[in-house]
Amino acid sequence: MTKVNADLKVTAIEQVAEDTFTLRFQSSELAGQLKPGQFINILVSERIEPLLRRPYSISNIYNDECEIMFSLLGKGTHILAEKRPGDTIGVLGPLGNTFGYEKSFGTAVIVAGGIGVAPFPYLTRVLKEKGIPTVTFLGARSTSRVVRDGLENLHIATDDGSEGFHGNVIGALAEYMQTHDVDRPMIFACGPNPMLQATQSFAHEHDILCELSLESEMACGMGICQGCPIEHHGGGRKYTLVCTDGACFDSRDIIFHEHHA
Amino acid sequence: MNTSYTLGTLRMKNRVLVASGTFGYGNEAAAYTDLSRLGGIVTKSVSWKPRQGNAPTRIAETPAGMLNSIGLANVGIDAFISEKMSFLRELDTSIVVNIAASSTDEYIDILERLEDEEGIEAYEINVSCPNVKEGGLNFGTRCDMTETITRELRRRTKRTLIIKLTPNVTYIEDFARACEAEGADAISLINTLVGMAVNIQTRRPVLSTITGGLSGPAIKPVALAKVFQSSRAVSIPVIGIGGITTWQDGIEFLLAGASAIQVGTASFRDPDAAVKIVNGMEAWCLEQGVEDMQELVGGLRIDEGVKAPGFVKAK
């Protein structure tokens, strides 16, 4: 696998929901090797603020273009949102492991909260190519923030009740799973830690295979800084690293604490 | 042009090293940079036993810098020797092993264990980690402890011994002099400055340990001043560390009095940063007609009679 650390050309940027964007950049090298669940680290400008790169999931691949999805949060994402085709961004990757989409299961149950939806258009497409059906549960603050592109069998939950299930996404998931006969489900979840923790509990209670894609502060993305520990079971070590051992983990391996909220 | 630099058993092809804790054990960044272009690699701190490190959150970005509270998470001396040394030994660059410990005896045990290992050109002694409860800063902020550790380690090795100093003291020159008096070959500075960040939404500190160590461009002016002060207080070489991000930064540190430099946080931003700094410094020296980089060391031009304020210790 060839690692890339280069300034790459932005080819497209599009607003896909309120304060939410997709950005494409050109790299045949990365497009050829990035898999669903992996991430890249982006340096938005040459300036020393922001100083560090930030991790972004790959949201899709189109020929020799890679796409990320982001919502406006801090300085870096505001700079990214101002990028136009022809501008450059610093990209480093591929980083992290992939979702376990090669495992044996019948239906992919996607659970996403907020911008945690980012890795799922790519996963959905790859599963579709393998003939595996997907059902997607998407939680958002409000209908204006719902990202729909690239997702299938979409079930929406909104905090304000402006669309779909009024409440959190785990409520929508539980209701569906109770009333439908889902063939050998496997859950793939990404979103805020409280949502992931609730997904973990749900999966354990119902004995469903479940993978969580975690987010963490990280400085390097390659196991050097030791800044992204997550407590886990086994292995003789208390912590494992989100960047190199994840970002995708079997939900049975991860231990959440209150500080993750 | 001569770029090489020899400091006892440490024979470097150039004066740019990567700093401890910002480059792991060399293997992690190998896919992103040409390690053979580095003057040297200072390893992640090695302790006697493996250390799990502190609870998350361990890092926070701050204006032009970052706070960390890793807590010396490392594999321990056994795994370092059995798993990390074979890769390091084969590299075409100098290897400096950074040692961290909670007692003088632990420093001694680790150093004696490493003495049997080939391929180590120098030790850098971390007496200045701000993020562990025992040892760490307790040693680095006490001149007598710094003296004892330096003396005990000096007796036990002929390899180049570098003591890494903390800026979290009133007079860093006193510590520099203590290291020189006890036989250290060089001092490196600065380690991180104690700092903190607050989340106003949760009204909690961002880091799990409340305070952490500040690094990055934000601390470069502090580091330059400490290098300047220390290098004028001792005759052993000073290795400059602190926010070095560009080749111009590297030249500034040499002029201020550093004989060599370490690139730290910049490698997180770009794992190829140190090599870019090597290339930039060399190109500038060629352009300037510099024949040996030693010409730059301490070459700061200061008019006669001009002194920096605040350097005089109260009697």
pLDDT of res. B133: 62
Range of the domain at A77: 4-95
Q: Is residue A77 part of a domain?
A: yes
Question: Number of Cβ pairs closer than 8 Å across A and B?
Answer: 99
CB contact (8 A) between residue A52 and residue B61: yes
CATH number at residue B249: 3.20.20.70
Nearest CA in chain A to B205: A259
Average pLDDT over residues A151-161: 97
Residue B140 has pLDDT above 90, yes or no: no
Residues of B in contact with A229 (CB under 8 A): 53, 55-56, 58, 73
Domain final position from A63, A95, A127: A95
CB contact (8 A) between residue A51 and residue B31: no
Q: Is residue A186 part of a domain?
A: yes
Residues A18, A133 share a domain: no
CATH number at residue A144: 3.40.50.80
Q: Is residue B231 part of a domain?
A: yes
Residues A172, A143 share a domain: yes
CB contact (8 A) between residue B28 and residue A224: yes
Per-residue pLDDT tens over the stretch B293-302:
999 999 999 9
Residue B69 has pLDDT above 90, yes or no: yes
The two tokens of residue B264 are 């730290």
Q: Is residue A194 part of a domain?
A: yes
Q: Is residue B315 part of a domain?
A: no
- Residues 6+ away with beta carbon under 8 Å from B90: none
Of A92, A224, A228, the CB nearest to B23: A224
pLDDT of res. A236: 77
Q: How far is CA B266 from CA A4, A142, A190, A236, B271, in A?
A: 18, 40, 30, 32, 8
Residues A82, A8 share a domain: yes
Q: Is residue B311 part of a domain?
A: no
Give, to the nearest 10 degrees, the angle between helix B172-181 and helix B220-233: 40
Residues of A in contact with B53 (CB under 8 A): 226, 229, 239
CB contact (8 A) between residue B53 and residue A239: yes
CB contact (8 A) between residue B269 and residue A53: yes
Shortest distance, CA A6 to any CA of chain B (angstroms): 10
Residues A113, A81 share a domain: no
Nearest CA in chain A to B43: A224
Q: How far is CA B215 from CA A241, B21, B163, in A?
A: 22, 12, 19
Per-residue pLDDT tens over the stretch B235-277:
999 999 999 999 999 999 999 999 999 999 999 999 999 999 9
Q: Give CA angle at A227 (A224, A233), nearest 5°.
A: 100
Range of the domain at B240: 5-296
Computed over every residue of chain B, the mean pLDDT equals 95
Residue B311 has pLDDT above 60, yes or no: no
Q: Is residue B313 part of a domain?
A: no
Q: Is residue B310 part of a domain?
A: no
Q: Is residue B307 part of a domain?
A: no
Per-residue pLDDT tens over the stretch B80-138:
999 999 999 999 999 999 999 999 999 999 999 999 999 999 999 999 776 666 666 77
pLDDT of res. B309: 77
Q: Which helix (H) or strand (E) holds A189?
A: strand A185-190
Residues of A in contact with B249 (CB under 8 A): none
Of A5, A225, A238, the CB nearest to B59: A225
Residues A80, A141 share a domain: no
CATH number at residue A19: 2.40.30.10
* DSSP string computed for B140-172: HT-HHHHHHHHHHHHTT--SEEEEEPPS-SS-H
Residues of A in contact with B24 (CB under 8 A): 223-224
Residue A155 has pLDDT above 50, yes or no: yes
Residues A88, A159 share a domain: no
Nearest CA in chain A to B244: A48
Of A3, A226, A238, the CB nearest to B31: A3
Residue B315 has pLDDT above 50, yes or no: no
Residues A82, A37 share a domain: yes
- Contact status, residue B101 vs residue B135, Cβ threshold 8 Å: yes
Domain count, chain B: 1
Residue A45 has pLDDT above 70, yes or no: yes
Residue A259 has pLDDT above 70, yes or no: no
The residue among B74, B214, B268 with the most chain A CBs within 10 A of its CB, best to mutate, is: B268
Residues of A in contact with B65 (CB under 8 A): 51
Q: Is residue A50 part of a domain?
A: yes
Domain final position from A45, A65, A95: A95
Average pLDDT over residues A130-156: 97
Average pLDDT over residues B21-40: 97
Residues A117, A88 share a domain: no
Q: Is residue A60 part of a domain?
A: yes
Residue A1 has pLDDT above 90, yes or no: no
pLDDT of res. B139: 84
Nearest CA in chain A to B71: A226
Residues A133 and B216: their CA atoms lie apart, in Å, by: 48
Residues A247, A125 share a domain: yes
Q: How many CA atoms lie within 13 A of B142 on its CB side?
A: 9
Of B31, B57, B269, the CB nearest to A217: B57
CB contact (8 A) between residue B58 and residue A224: no
Catalytic residue flag (residue B129): yes
Least confident of A231-235, B73-77, B231-235: A231-235
Residues A227, A129 share a domain: yes
Residues A157, A120 share a domain: yes
pLDDT of res. A36: 98
Residue A92 has pLDDT above 70, yes or no: yes
Which ipTM did the prediction report? Answer: 0.94
Per-residue pLDDT tens over the stretch B186-226:
999 999 999 999 999 999 999 999 999 999 999 999 999 99
Residue A111's SS3 state is strand
Of B29, B56, B70, the CB nearest to A222: B29
The residue among A33, A48, A231 with the most chain B CBs within 10 A of its CB, best to mutate, is: A48
Q: Is residue A188 part of a domain?
A: yes
pLDDT of res. A101: 96
Domain count, chain A: 2
Residue B314 has pLDDT above 50, yes or no: no
In terms of C-beta density within 10 A (0-12 exposed, 13-18 middle, 19 or more buried), how is residue A178 classed?
exposed
Residues A219, A118 share a domain: yes
Q: Is residue B68 part of a domain?
A: yes
